[in-house]
Amino acid sequence: MIAATLSVGFLPLIDAAPLIVAHEMGFAAEESIALELRRAPSWSSVRDMLSFGRVEAAHMLSPVPVASALGLGGTGTALSAVSVLGVNGNVIGVSNALAARLREHGHDFAFNDARTAGEALIAVADQPLRLGVPFPFSMHAELLYYWLSALGLPAPQSVDIRTVPPSLMADAMQAGEIDAFCVGEPWGSIAVENGVGTLLLPGSAIWRFAPEKVLAVRSDWASAEPDLLGRLIRAVWRAGRWLAEPGSPTLAAELLSRKEYLDLPAEILDRALNGRLVISAQGEERHVPGFVEFHHGAATFPWRSQAEWIGLQLAARTGLDRPTAARAARAVFRSDLFREALAPTRAELPGASSKMEGALSEETAVASTSGRLFLGPDSFFDGRIFEPSAH
Amino acid sequence: MSASLSIVVVEPDRDRAILIVDSLRDAGSYDIHVISEPTGLARKIQALSPDVVLIDVESPSRDTLEELALASGPLDRPVAMFVDRDGEGLTDTAIEAGVSAYVVDGMKPQRVKPIMDAAIARFRMFQRMRTELAETKRALEERKMIDRAKGMLMKARGVDEDEAYALLRKTAMDQGKRVAEVAAALVTAAGLLG
């Protein structure tokens, strides 16, 4: 019996997979809910659909609800991130002209070293780099700023940032409007496929464990419908666990390729899901383990410290008071609701709700429900460690 | 009251753009510009520095305008989406009708209302047209599929057209499906079997 139908907004991206899989593979039905997935044309429209109650939940860029809580953009409706949907999954790509200059400069496109790639990029740029990001409040923007600033190119001040929707990123590059982009898959691969760009780095080369998208709901809805929210979180969590099974990516690529979802060839979607990216029109392939993660290492746990990191980056850029921003941001990632929802399952949950961000350089066992939880590496490329405020 | 408000309409379709401009002209005296190319949208808007920007909710380029909502964005004047300052449910109505509006911060709602009313009415009509078109297309596709399935049955079973249709309808009823679905399944299966 279906208790309720929940409508969920999403953008055509690889990391909408947990929602699509929850619906298609019956994980929603197992929780006696039905999902009505509604594809949205832009991030602002997903946010507004959620804010105005046109959908109950949404696939959302992790910084969007944090930005809203800080009074940046949005409609003033309080939003909660009740689960992370996916960790990592972005690529940085450069125009063919820039790729040629990088190769002349001796860059090897090894696709794993953010320092080397970034220094080469800064060295060959003869004018302010024009960088495309999908949204002003996005992990894409945060990763680019963090990366370039750490290498001595203060961003966004010294670069020219342009907001380009993911599906139009390849077109913008072809039109010569941007020199480089950071975008979620499969849109980087589409640029490669169309012969307009070369991939330089996966987002994970900058931050090994960046919370990329979240499952967002209105905070008042979360308080009013705890039962439905629990069902939704569990359904999506099981979908993520299924996605992490070795046999799943190929089937997931087929599901996602359907007309009502991404409407793109499964072969292109398969690249990100299997971590085998084709980086250039010449067909060079790079293997990136954990290119996008839906489950392992408590990937979907909404760490308060992740929200705080995002909040403080935004605060630093917009001149907001840091302690206030940190507090407001922490309240957005609802590890409490995530725990409550997963209590009836055998999910392995961390003992803490906040962690040092960037402290793990390898897989590490941590305190958890039954003591068998391993967190994956979460380091920043420059080795910096972010210590969240005491709680 | 200052000089007439300037409005930018972001709309790639020329006919739709003309219709929007016409209804805005009927609603009042405004200084209206149309931008039809999404490339360099933020720069173009910055150059025009309008009071109000109207854009189709379905347009992915809407995210580009989100930049304008930031004080540090390409416009000197901060811009807010209309929603921030509206108590009358106008924004909700607008979103439902498929139009987004970005309005310069501090603008009085009563100055913007006639613009929104005109835009909402126009976009509602577009939405109806879009639904009608999709429905017509679907009906046509289904008709074609049913015709093909009928043709296959007529050949395979040596029946006439009415009998072939009756067979499709009976199967559909037995399986609790629509005739078009049964027809599509038959055509697909036939394609697979060569």
Report if residue A41 sits inside a domain. Answer: yes
Whether residue A158 is found in the same domain as residue A303: no
The residue of chain A with its CA nearest to that of B79 is A73
Nearest to B63 among A134, A177, A318 (CB): A134
Across the range A269-287, mean pLDDT stands at 95
CA distances from residue A160 to A92, B73, B93 in whole angstroms, order as listed: 15, 11, 36
Whether residue A202 is found in the same domain as residue A230: no
pLDDT of residue B65: 75
pLDDT exceeds cutoff 80 at B3:
no
Report if residue A370 sits inside a domain. Answer: no
Across the range A276-293, mean pLDDT stands at 94
Whether residue A335 is found in the same domain as residue A233: yes
pLDDT exceeds cutoff 90 at A185:
yes
pLDDT of residue B77: 46
Whether residue A204 is found in the same domain as residue A242: no
Mutation for A interface: B44, B59, B64, B96, most A CBs within 10 A: B64
Please state the domain count of chain A: 2
pLDDT exceeds cutoff 70 at B15:
yes
Whether residue A170 is found in the same domain as residue A94: yes
CATH of the domain at A341: 3.40.190.10
Cis previous bond, A41, omega within 30: no
Which two three-digit tokens encode residue A85?
Answer: 């949907």
**Domains of chain B as residue ranges with CATH:** 6-132 (3.40.190), 135-193 (1.10.10.10)
List of chain A residues whose C-beta atoms are within 8 Å of the C-beta of residue B64: 162-165
Whether residue A176 is found in the same domain as residue A245: no
User: Are B63 and A175 a contacting pair at CB < 8 A?
Assistant: no
Whether residue A187 is found in the same domain as residue A336: no
Across the range A354-383, mean pLDDT stands at 89
Q: How many angstroms separate the CA of residue A105 from the nearest CA in chain B?
A: 30
Which of A97-106, A195-204, A229-238, B92-101 bottoms out in mean pLDDT, i.e. has the lowest? B92-101
Nearest to A76 among B65, B66, B84 (CB): B84
Of the three residues A208, A236, A253, the one that is the final residue of a domain is A208
Nearest to A136 among B40, B66, B84 (CB): B66
Report if residue A383 sits inside a domain. Answer: no
pLDDT of residue B104: 63
Which two three-digit tokens encode residue B104?
Answer: 């310069």
pLDDT of residue B86: 47
Cα-Cα-Cα-Cα dihedral sign, residues B29, B31, B37, B42:
negative
pLDDT of residue B135: 82
The residue of chain A with its CA nearest to that of B84 is A75
What is d(CA A260, CA A257) in angstroms, rounded to the nearest whole number? 8
Report if residue A355 sits inside a domain. Answer: no
For chain A, give the percent of residues with pLDDT over 90.
83
Cα-Cα-Cα-Cα dihedral sign, residues A89, A94, A95, A96:
negative
ipTM: 0.71
List of chain B residues whose C-beta atoms are within 8 Å of the C-beta of residue A163: 42, 63-64, 66-67
3-state secondary structure of A343: coil
Across the range A336-365, mean pLDDT stands at 92
Which of A79-83, A114-118, A174-178, B109-113 bottoms out in mean pLDDT, i.e. has the lowest? B109-113
User: A188: domain range?
Assistant: 90-208
Spell out where A89-210 has E strands.
90-95, 130-133, 160-163, 180-184, 197-202
pLDDT exceeds cutoff 90 at A67:
yes
Q: How many angstroms separate the CA of residue A117 from the nearest CA in chain B?
A: 28
Whether residue A59 is found in the same domain as residue A114: no
Q: Which region, left, alpha or beta, applies to residue A73 given φ > 0 means left and ψ of -120 to 50 means alpha?
A: left
Cα-Cα-Cα-Cα dihedral sign, residues B74, A157, A105, A139:
negative
pLDDT of residue B88: 55
Whether residue A226 is found in the same domain as residue A306: yes
Report if residue A184 sits inside a domain. Answer: yes
pLDDT exceeds cutoff 90 at B45:
no
What is d(CA B169, CA B182) in angstroms, rounded to the nearest whole number? 8
A45 neighbors A59 (Cβ within 8 angstroms): no
Which residues, in sequence order, are CB contacts of A289 under 8 Å at separation 6+?
A275
